[in-house]
């Protein structure tokens, strides 16, 4: 994060501009609301001798309460996800029942005459210190569990309830150290004017969700949280990735001008709504929208989407913190299919895992979640859950405008297994005489380098490809898409990434299938001419980005786009590539 002071406002407060990573465009003005969840201050308090028993009782009551909470989560996970993952919470319950820790706490409350939370924290801190010094990896890993249990118990001792974002009901700009995708799903647009986080990258799921909910957001601010106070006046500019504390008159004027410009530009672009995304020489690109929840379909169509190129169905789970039933899923898919008809919608099967496993069931700890039990891997391990989803999708396909897409395919075998399960479900439906689209198209996300490199073989088993650049970039460059510290290394214009994209498009076409792209690159105006020139057939992006991308496509020829792509693919550095793209853009559309 960089910052600069730009004078004082009329109340003599210093006006400072902080710069982070743009996550969702738009501007918001309002008061800061600090979401202080993680840090609870535990103060030392002396108690009298006759308060000792009451303090011990308070500690035992908090132990019971915490155990009940964890047992509930354990049951929920066992029922809805799988019994193996429920073991994490079993282990946490065992920590709560650790006689050594609990007896030591009780002894020290008696001996030192201190409040329970202070004594408990001290005992936990020294346990963690001892484990950290151990060379045993297993013991070290227990630290995370101990921390999770300890903070839950301390919250209960202090009587603090976990704040949910639904409960905020006056309009504020939310400032947090970190948020989960489930947090964003629970935001009410009327009360959260915008949000800013210290953590996160521009293609983290928190950022994607903010875009789709049209909530302006800035992420990756590193330590902004500690610089701002509750109720301070703020301007948040999600397009530039800036936050302005205590804006002065001049800054407010500049912002007003910007806001008017954005309104004018949006009105100009909305005139393109009914026109096709087609180059001068008639190369037609299908321009679709990415959605997270069925209700996003309305705004996608409003912005001129020609279909839904990616429905991230896992948000049905994140929105309600429980796996949706077959009926609930069917209704959601049916709603999208009906709304877009006669256009089509691509339903992606659950891509849970990575940063999308937080929420209310507790996070399932993995050392490397993005390389872990995610998406198709989890679905193939949980065929009963997967088949429920496939059945709901098939049932919603009767109007023949649904396509099914599998995420995170890394090898042909996975695709074959997923397709075999789909066939099983089709057979079951046929037996029961339940109708569905017999010719439903089945495609895959190409978002892992091994898939791009095996694109010829995968194309033989697929009806279409959709390139997921958000993940393809992170896996090709070994750069976590949500980590603000290395956000500068997350570069879609890396020659290696572009070669994999080109290779995938060519392999798809060689095998007679269409190739789309649904990562954030599809909504980046700097990438549009290049992607069209590489031969992409479809671009699917957040609804808000559609008009701008359409305008670019309608201002070029396919031939000039191909020339640019050929030039760029022969360059060897990110800087050279960006320079050529920026110059080309400025020549065609002017600077800025």
How many residues contact Mg ion, by CB under 5 A? 3
* Cβ 201 vs Cβ 484: under 8 Å: yes
Separation CA 132–CA 120 (nearest Å):
18
Give the H or E element holding residue 93: helix 83-96
Q: Which stretch binds Mg ion (CB under 5 A): 99-107, 328-336, 470-478, 569-577?
A: 470-478
Active site residue 379: no
By CB under 5 A, residue 468 contacts Mg ion: yes
Separation CA 97–CA 100 (nearest Å):
9
Select from ligand PEP, Mg ion, none the partner in contact with residue 312, using the beta carbon and a kind-dependent cut-off of 5 to 8 Å.
ligand PEP
Q: Which is nearer to ligand PEP, 352 or 392 (CB)?
A: 352
Active site residue 205: yes
Q: Which is nearer to ligand PEP, 393 or 521 (CB)?
A: 521
Q: Which residue has tokens 């948020």?
A: 179
Separation CA 275–CA 271 (nearest Å):
8
* Cβ 470 vs Cβ 203: under 8 Å: yes
By CB under 5 A, residue 194 contacts Mg ion: no
Structure tokens that stand for 219 in this block: 């992420």
- The number of residues making up the chain comes to 592
In angstroms, give the least distance from the CB of 388 to Mg ion: 22
Residue 591 backbone dihedrals phi, psi, to 5 degrees: -80, 160
Select from ligand PEP, Mg ion, none the partner in contact with residue 85, using the beta carbon and a kind-dependent cut-off of 5 to 8 Å.
none
**Residue closest to Mg ion, measured at CB:** 471
Q: Which is nearer to ligand PEP, 315 or 330 (CB)?
A: 315
Separation CA 357–CA 204 (nearest Å):
13
In angstroms, give the least distance from the CB of 493 to ligand PEP: 15
Select from Mg ion, ligand PEP, none the partner in contact with residue 548, using the beta carbon and a kind-dependent cut-off of 5 to 8 Å.
none
Q: Which is nearer to ligand PEP, 201 or 238 (CB)?
A: 201
In angstroms, give the least distance from the CB of 518 to Mg ion: 9
99-112 and 116-132 helices, crossing angle to 10°: 130
Select from ligand PEP, Mg ion, none the partner in contact with residue 469, using the beta carbon and a kind-dependent cut-off of 5 to 8 Å.
ligand PEP
Q: Which is nearer to Mg ion, 174 or 522 (CB)?
A: 522
By CB under 5 A, residue 441 contacts Mg ion: no
Q: Which is nearer to ligand PEP, 124 or 534 (CB)?
A: 534
Select from Mg ion, ligand PEP, none the partner in contact with residue 242, using the beta carbon and a kind-dependent cut-off of 5 to 8 Å.
none
Select from ligand PEP, Mg ion, none the partner in contact with residue 459, using the beta carbon and a kind-dependent cut-off of 5 to 8 Å.
none
Q: Which is nearer to ligand PEP, 63 or 179 (CB)?
A: 179
Select from Mg ion, ligand PEP, none the partner in contact with residue 561, using the beta carbon and a kind-dependent cut-off of 5 to 8 Å.
none
In angstroms, give the least distance from the CB of 521 to ligand PEP: 8
Q: Which of 186, 205, 246, 494 is catalytic?
A: 205
* Cβ 568 vs Cβ 498: under 8 Å: yes
Separation CA 444–CA 310 (nearest Å):
11
3-state secondary structure string across 517-558: ECCHHHHCCCCHHHHHHHCCCEEEECHHHHHHHHHHHCCCCH
Separation CA 481–CA 490 (nearest Å):
7
In angstroms, give the least distance from the CB of 467 to ligand PEP: 7
Write the CB contacts of 294 (distance below 8 Å, at least 6 apart in sequence).
332, 335, 336, 339
| Start-to-end C-alpha separation, the chain | 22
Separation CA 558–CA 553 (nearest Å):
9
Select from Mg ion, ligand PEP, none the partner in contact with residue 344, using the beta carbon and a kind-dependent cut-off of 5 to 8 Å.
none
In angstroms, give the least distance from the CB of 397 to ligand PEP: 22
Q: Which is nearer to ligand PEP, 247 or 519 (CB)?
A: 519
In angstroms, give the least distance from the CB of 314 to ligand PEP: 8
Separation CA 131–CA 128 (nearest Å):
5
Select from ligand PEP, Mg ion, none the partner in contact with residue 519, using the beta carbon and a kind-dependent cut-off of 5 to 8 Å.
ligand PEP
Give the H or E element holding residue 65: helix 52-80
Residue 34 backbone dihedrals phi, psi, to 5 degrees: -90, 125
* Cβ 188 vs Cβ 167: under 8 Å: no
Q: Which is nearer to ligand PEP, 208 or 390 (CB)?
A: 208
Q: Residue numbers of the site for ligand PEP (CB under 6 A)?
A: 208, 310, 312, 351, 447, 468-471, 518-519
- Output DSSP code: residue 327: H
In angstroms, give the least distance from the CB of 312 to Mg ion: 9
Q: Which of 15, 246, 379, 518 is catalytic?
A: 518
In angstroms, give the least distance from the CB of 3 to ligand PEP: 30
Residues 198, 286, 358, 447: which binds Mg ion (CB under 5 A)? 447
Residues 248, 306, 471, 520: which binds Mg ion (CB under 5 A)? 471
Separation CA 464–CA 319 (nearest Å):
29
Strand residues in 294-361 grouped as ranges (E): 308-312, 345-348
Binding residues for Mg ion (CB under 5 A): 447, 468, 471
Q: Any idea which residues carry the catalytic annotation?
A: 205, 518
């Amino acid at each position: 994060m960089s910052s600069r002071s730009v004078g004082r406002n009329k109340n003599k407060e210093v006006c400072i501009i902080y710069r982070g990573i743009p996550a969702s465009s738009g501007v918001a003005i309002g008061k800061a609301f600090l979401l202080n969840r993680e840090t609870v201050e535990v103060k030392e308090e002396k108690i009298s001798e006759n308060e000792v028993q009451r303090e011990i009782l308070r500690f035992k009551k908090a132990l019971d309460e915490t155990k009940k909470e964890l047992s509930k989560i354990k049951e929920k996970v066992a029922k809805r996800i799988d019994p193996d993952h429920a073991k994490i919470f079993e282990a946490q319950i065992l920590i709560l029942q650790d006689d050594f820790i609990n007896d030591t706490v009780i002894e020290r409350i008696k001996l030192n005459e201190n409040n329970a939370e202070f004594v408990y924290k001290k005992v936990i801190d020294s346990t963690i210190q001892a484990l950290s010094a151990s060379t045993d990896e297993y013991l070290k890993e227990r630290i995370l569990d101990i921390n999770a249990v300890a903070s839950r118990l301390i919250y209960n001792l202090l009587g603090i309830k976990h704040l949910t974002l639904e409960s905020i009901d006056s309009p504020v700009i939310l400032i947090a150290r970190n948020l989960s995708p489930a947090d964003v799903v629970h935001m009410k647009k009327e009360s959260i004017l915008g949000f800013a986080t210290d953590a996160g990258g521009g293609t983290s799921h928190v950022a994607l969700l903010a875009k789709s909910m049209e909530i302006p957001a800035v992420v990756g601010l590193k330590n902004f949280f500690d610089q701002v106070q509750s109720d301070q006046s703020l301007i948040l500019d999600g397009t530039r990735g800036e936050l302005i504390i205590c804006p002065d008159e001049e800054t407010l004027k500049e912002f007003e001008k910007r806001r008017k410009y954005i309104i004018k530009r949006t009105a100009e672009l909305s005139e393109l709504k009914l026109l096709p995304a087609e180059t001068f020489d008639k190369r037609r690109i299908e321009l679709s929208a990415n959605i997270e929840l069925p209700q996003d379909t309305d705004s996608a169509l409003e912005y001129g989407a020609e279909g839904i190129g990616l429905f991230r169905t896992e948000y049905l789970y994140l929105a309600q913190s429980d796996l949706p039933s077959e009926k609930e899923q069917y209704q959601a898919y049916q709603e999208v299919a009906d709304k877009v008809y006669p256009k089509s919608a691509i339903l992606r099967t659950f891509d849970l895992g990575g940063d999308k496993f937080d929420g209310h069931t507790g996070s399932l700890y993995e050392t490397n979640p993005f390389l872990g039990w995610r998406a198709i891997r989890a679905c193939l391990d949980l065929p009963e859950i997967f088949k429920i989803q496939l059945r709901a999708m098939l049932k919603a396909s009767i109007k023949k405008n649904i396509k099914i897409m599998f995420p995170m395919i890394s090898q042909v075998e996975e695709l074959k297994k997923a397709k075999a399960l789909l066939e099983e479900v089709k057979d079951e439906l046929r037996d029961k005489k339940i109708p569905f689209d017999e010719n439903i198209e089945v495609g895959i996300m190409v978002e892992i380098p091994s898939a791009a490199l095996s694109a010829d073989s995968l194309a033989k088993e697929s009806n279409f490809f959709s390139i997921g650049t958000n993940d393809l970039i992170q896996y090709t460059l070994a750069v976590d898409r949500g980590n603000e510290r290395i956000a500068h290394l997350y570069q879609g214009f890396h020659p290696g990434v572009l070669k994999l994209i080109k290779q995938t498009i060519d392999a798809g076409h060689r095998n007679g299938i269409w190739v789309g792209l649904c990562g954030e690159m599809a909504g980046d105006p700097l990438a549009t001419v290049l992607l069209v020139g590489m031969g992409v057939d479809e671009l699917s992006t957040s609804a808000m980005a559609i008009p701008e991308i359409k305008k670019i496509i309608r201002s070029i020829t396919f031939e000039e786009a191909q020339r640019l792509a050929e030039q760029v693919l022969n360059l060897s550095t990110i800087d050279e590539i960006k320079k050529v793209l920026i110059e080309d853009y400025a020549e065609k559309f002017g600077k800025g």
